Amino acid sequence: MLAGLNRTLDEWLCDSFVELIEEMELWKWVDTTGDFWSRLAEELQQSNISVTWAEQLDSRLASVHTTGKLSWAAASRSIRKCKMRIERIGGSRLDTDSEVWDLD
């Protein structure tokens, strides 16, 4: 089970199961790969369920999966969340044209 979780974390560029759950906020169900761990994390995120055993799982995983570095998912998550919010309210690249903002 830990080896499968380790592969899933590598695929999603995450360092822990807790982080994987956070990452799933940015993805839809159909975007998950279909493996057990990413689907479980997506369902927990969509249902807004917090599980007490996630931290315990991460501590067990730390013996197998140790990086000690900030994951790419964590480093880029705030930027990707910002992009999603802009798109959700109808923003687009067209809105940045200088003519739209009367910058000419």
Domain count, the chain: 1
For the chain, the average pLDDT equals 78
Is residue 103 a part of any domain in this protein? no
Measured between alpha carbons, how far is 24 from 3 in angstroms, rounded to an integer? 20
pTM: 0.64
Q: What is the mean pLDDT of residues 3-29?
A: 87
pLDDT range class, residue 69, cuts 50, 70, 90: low
Q: Which of 12-16, 76-80, 92-96 has the lowest mean pLDDT?
A: 92-96
Is residue 65 a part of any domain in this protein? yes
Is residue 104 a part of any domain in this protein? no
Give which of 60, 14, 71, 69 is closest to 37, Cα–Cα.
14
Pick the more confident residue, 12 or 104: 12
Measured between alpha carbons, how far is 40 from 44 in angstroms, rounded to an integer? 6
Residues 61/17, Cβ–Cβ less than 8 Å: yes
Buried b (16+ CB within 10 A) or exposed e, 33-48: eeeebbebbbebbeee
Residue 25 belongs to domain spanning: 2-96
Q: pLDDT, tens digit, for every residue of 38-64?
A: 999 999 999 988 888 888 787 777 665
